[in-house]
Each structure stands twice: as structure tokens, then as C-alpha cells.
């Protein structure tokens, strides 16, 4: 890398060196997280869910990516195990990262009670834009480039800016910026996924599967341009199949050099073919068997939350039933008390009592007569006494 123009170290804090590669990968993860949070918010999923998923997923993806690469490049690391942990030197594989991330997501999402396919759909655009941004780490490290290319092809045919063309000058030879090809392909895929998930008939899981298919199509053709591919010694029919599928690229490009002693079949191309075919079959089978009945736009619920809410609902129902029974029992008891209460019969009046009552009535009537009657009755008597005298 005698012609490396960019310093891989962004800045240094004492003995700590911060590499551009790490900053770029961190930015990629952050942007992908924001996209997932934004989509999850539409369906009522908290951002903490995705942040926790990222905290578990990123280390799992890095471990998977590094383990995948080291497994196929073991001869380069078997004598220096410490080099395995120096990921800032490059040497990670995206398919390995996907394997690690998917395994982590399966465990985490299942623990939270959500459907893996629904969460994977929400994360698919974030994964793809993360890959698009992360590829620029290869640009800084001057790695993952393609075979030789003329400077005029890069400047005049592709109209690439100087900072990219100059960085692709490796030891005096210009190379295809395969990192740029894959980054652009991934950015276009993000836009397509945005449009796909707005279609009414899209089922759960199909956005994520479409992401795998789209990325694998681009990766198959771009991988054929690279000179640092992981490879193995495959059968002749496999070599013929891969060459036939890649043949349209011969119009503008030449395949990158692959050491025949190392291998004749690029592993990433085989995996890409498998994911494309498997993805198409999976979409068809899931629809035909009715597994994919849930639409992407359907509400999403957590089975764990439903399980936790069930006892509370049953407790509330039982409490209300108890209260209703108590009210019913109280009403029955009140009615029974009313029936058992002795009735108060009217008091009977004796004959003597009735006689006294009649005498009292006569006295009242006499007292009510006017006094003038007594005066008028006494007046004639006075007159008669006067005459007699």
C-alpha cells in the first residue's frame, strides 16, 4: 500500500488510536438503528427494544464476520492468533456478519415474544444502509478493490471524482472501486425497500427476504471483479455454472484475478446464488401454504406482553364477579330480612274506649257553640223575674 493517500487513523487520544474504519462502522450501525427505530415507532415498538437489539447484535455480527473470514483464511492467522482480534486491519465478511446478527436476533426477538419475520422486516433497510456506509471503510483501508482498470475508464467512462480514483491507485496500478459499486447498489436497494414495504399486498418476512435477494444479486456480480475473494476448489460444473451466470459482465468488465492454487470458486458467489434461489422459493412456499398470511402493515403484538396481561385481566374479571356476587347476596339478605320482620297490626279500640271518645267529642262540640246562645237564653228569665217583683 505504498500509494495509500489517506491515514487510516482518524485521531489519537494518548496511546489510543481511533481508526476511520471503526468510526465508519459505528456511523453505519447508528444510521441503521435510527431507520429501524423510526419504522418500529409506526407500529408501537419502543426504541429501547431496537437499542438493546443493536447492543447485542453488533458484537454478534462482528464475531460472525471475523470468524467467517478467519475460517477461510486460517493459514494467515494460525501462526499469530492475536492478529485475529485486530479487525481494524480489515478482514471481515458481510455474510458472516449476517449469520451472527440473525442468530442473535432469533434469540433476542423470541425472548421478547415478537415474530422474527416482523422485526427482520423493520430492520432490513437499516441493515442495507449500514452495509452501504460500511463499505467506505474499505475505501479508507484501500482494500476490497477489484481487478486492474485503466485510469481513463475510471475518470472518463465512470466519471469518478479524483479522491476515489487516486485512492484506487495501488502500487501504481488503478483498480476497480468495488467498494463503491456495492455501496451504490445498496443505497438503491434501500430506496426499493422503502417503496416495497408501502405496497398493500406485501406479507411479513418478504421485505427482509427481498433485502437478501437484492443484496445477493449485486454481490454476485461485484464479487467477480475482486481480487481478494474467499474461495475454494470446486467441481468443474460449479465453475461452469458461476462463469455462465457472470458472463453478462464481460461487456464492460474483466473478472478479478483468483489464484488457482487457492481456489477456483468464490464462496460469496455461491452463497449469493443460494440466497437468491432460496429467497424466491421461500416467498412462493410461504404464500402457497398460508404461512405468510400476516400483512406487513398489520399491527404487531408481543406474545410475552399478552401472556403477562392475561393474568391481570382474569384477576380483574374475578374481582368484578366477586363484587357482583356480594351485591347480589346483599340484596337477597335484605329481602329476607324484610320478609321476616313482624308486621305491626292496627290497635283495636274497646267499647269503653269508644264511649269515652264519644263523650269527649260531645264536650268538644259543646265548647265550640257560641256564647251568645247562653246570653239569649238567660235574658227572658231576667225579664220574668222583674215582672213578678
177-188 pLDDT per residue, tens:
999 999 999 999
> Confidence band (pLDDT; 50, 70, 90) for 351?
very low
CA 128/CA 301 separation, integer angstroms: 25
Mean pLDDT, rounded, for 235-244: 96
CA 13/CA 220 separation, integer angstroms: 40
156-175 pLDDT per residue, tens:
999 999 999 999 999 899 99
Query: What is the per-residue pLDDT for 371?
Result: 42
pLDDT at 80 over 90: no
CA 93/CA 10 separation, integer angstroms: 23
Mean pLDDT, rounded, for 99-115: 95
Least confident of 225-239, 293-307, 373-387: 373-387
How does the average pLDDT of the chain come out, rounded?
83
283-308 pLDDT per residue, tens:
999 999 999 999 999 999 887 766 66
Query: What is the per-residue pLDDT for 321?
Result: 54
Query: What is the per-residue pLDDT for 329?
Result: 55
Q: What is the pTM of this model?
A: 0.77
Under a CB-based contact definition with an 8 Å cutoff, are residues 84 and 77 in contact?
yes
> Confidence band (pLDDT; 50, 70, 90) for 348?
very low
Query: What is the per-residue pLDDT for 22?
Result: 87
Query: What is the per-residue pLDDT for 308?
Result: 62
Query: What is the per-residue pLDDT for 76?
Result: 84
The cell for 70 is 478467519
Q: State the DSSP H helix or E strand holding residue 265, giving kind and residue range, or none if neither.
A: strand 265-266
The 3-state DSSP class for residue 296 equals coil
Helix, strand and coil percent figures for the chain, each rounded to 5: 70, 5, 25
The cell for 216 is 445477493
Mean pLDDT, rounded, for 199-216: 96
Amino acid at each position: 500500500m505504498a500509494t495509500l493517500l489517506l491515514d487510516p487513523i482518524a485521531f489519537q487520544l494518548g496511546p489510543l488510536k481511533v481508526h476511520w474504519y471503526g468510526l465508519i462502522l459505528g456511523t453505519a450501525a447508528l444510521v441503521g438503528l435510527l431507520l429501524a427505530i423510526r419504522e418500529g415507532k409506526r407500529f408501537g415498538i419502543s426504541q429501547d427494544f431496537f437499542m438493546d437489539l443493536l447492543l447485542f447484535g453488533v458484537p454478534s455480527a462482528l464475531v460472525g464476520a471475523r470468524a467467517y473470514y478467519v475460517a477461510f483464511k486460517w493459514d494467515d492467522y494460525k501462526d499469530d492468533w492475536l492478529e485475529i482480534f485486530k479487525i481494524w486491519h480489515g478482514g471481515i465478511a458481510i455474510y458472516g456478519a449476517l449469520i451472527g446478527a440473525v442468530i442473535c436476533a432469533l434469540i433476542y426477538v423470541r425472548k421478547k415474544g415478537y415474530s422474527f419475520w416482523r422485526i427482520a422486516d423493520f430492520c432490513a433497510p437499516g441493515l442495507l444502509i449500514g452495509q452501504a456506509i460500511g463499505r467506505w471503510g474499505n475505501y479508507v483501508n484501500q482494500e476490497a478493490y477489484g481487478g486492474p482498470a485503466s485510469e481513463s475508464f475510471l475518470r472518463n467512462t465512470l466519471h469518478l471524482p479524483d479522491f476515489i480514483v487516486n485512492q484506487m491507485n495501488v502500487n501504481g496500478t488503478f483498480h476497480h472501486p468495488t467498494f463503491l459499486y456495492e455501496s451504490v447498489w445498496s443505497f438503491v436497494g434501500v430506496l426499493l425497500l422503502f417503496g416495497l414495504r408501502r405496497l398493500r399486498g406485501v406479507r411479513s418476512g418478504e421485505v427482509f427476504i427481498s433485502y437478501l435477494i437484492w443484496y445477493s444479486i449485486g454481490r454476485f456480480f461485484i464479487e467477480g471483479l475482486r481480487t481478494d475473494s474467499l474461495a475454494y476448489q470446486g467441481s468443474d460444473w460449479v465453475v461452469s455454472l458461476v462463469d455462465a451466470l457472470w458472463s453478462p459482465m464481460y461487456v464492460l468488465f474483466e473478472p478479478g484475478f483468483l489464484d488457482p492454487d487457492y481456489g477456483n470458486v468464490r464462496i460469496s458467489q455461491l452463497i449469493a446464488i443460494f440466497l437468491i434461489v432460496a429467497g424466491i422459493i421461500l416467498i412462493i412456499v410461504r404464500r402457497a401454504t398460508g404461512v405468510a398470511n400476516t400483512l406487513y402493515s398489520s399491527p404487531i403484538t408481543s406474545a410475552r406482553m399478552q401472556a403477562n396481561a392475561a393474568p391481570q385481566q382474569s384477576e380483574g374479571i374475578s374481582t368484578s364477579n366477586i363484587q357482583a356476587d356480594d351485591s347480589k347476596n346483599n340484596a337477597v339478605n335484605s329481602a329476607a330480612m324484610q320478609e321476616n320482620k313482624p308486621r305491626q297490626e292496627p290497635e283495636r279500640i274497646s267499647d269503653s274506649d269508644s264511649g269515652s271518645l264519644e263523650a269527649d267529642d260531645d264536650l268538644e262540640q259543646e265548647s265550640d257553640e257560641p256564647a251568645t246562645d247562653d246570653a239569649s237564653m238567660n235574658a227572658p228569665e231576667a225579664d220574668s223575674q222583674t215582672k213578678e217583683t
